[in-house]
Amino acid sequence: MEKDKLVNFIKRYNIGGIVNTVRITNSNNTLSTKFIGEDRSVLGQVNSYDFKLAKGAFGIYDTDQFLKMLGVLDSDIEVQAVGENENFTKLVLSDSKIKANFLLCDLSIVPDVPDIKQLEFGLSFNLTSEFCNSFIKSYSALTDNEFFTVATLSSDQVAIIIGPHNNYSMNLKITIEVSEIEDFLMDTVTFRASTFKDIILANRDFENSKIEISEQGLAKVVFNKSSDYDSVYYLVAEQQSD
């Protein structure tokens, strides 16, 4: 197995460390997990295809530790699931020199991930590599960048404002052409910038990506790469003081 393929899957749900405990399933060589952040500000699902791994479910309690153990191994690894009747207790990770035992947790302690009800999205636009690179550079350029705000400018343009969106603070603004604004009543909606930045970084090799925002203040962000993976994230709007 290519270690990088497994690591990339993990990073897509780990989101820079804010999602640590998950249930991972393997069915028909598709690795999948539904996840929710510890502060419940983000949830979603990641699927990665063409994984040669035992069929069943695996409880990962400490994803950060899992990544550290994978980090000491070479690029080509073997992953063996230990257990009976798809009730696995550990993963044995090995390369030509090193063998690591990673203990799995009981699935009952993995947080439940609520279902997202069908929403009407009033604003949507495609995410391009150019925009994603601009967002990451803008995020890195500011020290006061806890949030980013989506502000409607016209019927076909929005501004992505990194940093405080008032007129009295330093911020950076990216203007985007929008494919759809329908009955979008909020002038602005704000999300956590660090989370969005880490989502972009974890999916930088995407082929297609889109963001949709509902009037209820929920953003749906989708990334996919054909025959490799697809990721979907739901971000909950944040309150930003002026």
Between CA 178 and CA 7, with CA 137 as vertex, the angle to 5 degrees is 95
Q: Which domain CATH number covers 39?
A: 3.10.150.10
Are 171 and 73 within one domain? no
**Which class for 239: exposed (0-12), middle (13-18), buried (19 or more C-beta within 10 A)?**
exposed
Q: Which residues of 127-162 are buried (b: 16+ CB within 10 A; e: fewer)?
A: beeebbebbbebbeebeebebbbbbbeeeeebebbb
Which among 148, 149, 158, 147 is positioned nearest to 184, based on CA atoms? 158
Q: Are residues 130 and 177 in the same domain?
A: yes
135 lies in the same domain as 102? no
| 197, containing H or E segment | helix 193-202
My answer on whether 221 and 128 are in the same domain is: yes
The answer to whether residues 105 and 149 belong to one domain is no
For residue 68, the enclosing domain spans 3-109
8 A C-beta contact, residue 232 and residue 219: no
Tokens at 7, concatenated:
């690591």
Q: 102 and 143 share a domain?
A: no
186 with 87: CB under 8 angstroms?
no
User: What span, in angstroms and rounded, lies between the C-alpha atoms of 150 and 80?
Assistant: 45
From 109, 129, 159, the end of a domain falls on: 109
Whether residue 46 lies inside any domain: the answer is yes
Q: Considering 109, 141, 173, which residue would you say is the last residue of a domain?
A: 109
Q: What total number of domains does the chain contain? A: 2
Kindly state whether residues 104 and 13 are assigned to the same domain.
yes
Helices 193-202 and 129-141 pack at an angle, to 10 degrees, of 130
Closest CA to 9 of 74, 53, 55: 53
**98 and 169 part of one domain:** no
Residue 27 lies in a domain: yes
- In a domain, residue 135? The reply is yes
Do 169 and 229 fall into the same domain?
yes
DSSP 76: B
Asked whether residue 149 falls in the same domain as residue 73, the answer is: no
Same domain, 91 and 134: no
Low-confidence residues in the chain, pLDDT < 50: none
Compute φ and ψ for 193, nearest 5 degrees. -70, -40
Inside any domain, residue 66: yes
Mind listing the pLDDT tens digit for each residue in 75-122? Answer: 999 999 999 877 899 999 999 999 999 999 999 999 999 998 888 888
Q: Is residue 182 part of a domain?
A: yes
Q: Give residue 25's identity as a one-letter amino acid code.
A: T
Q: Is residue 163 situated within a structural domain? A: yes
pLDDT at residue 198, as a whole number: 97
C-alpha distances (whole Å) from 43 to each of 147, 153, 234 are 18, 29, 5
Q: Contact at 8 Å (CB) between 223 and 230?
A: yes
Q: Is residue 116 situated within a structural domain?
A: no
- Residue 103 forms part of a structural domain: yes
With a CB cutoff of 8 Å and minimum separation 6, the contacts of 70 are 3, 6, 7, 10, 77, 93
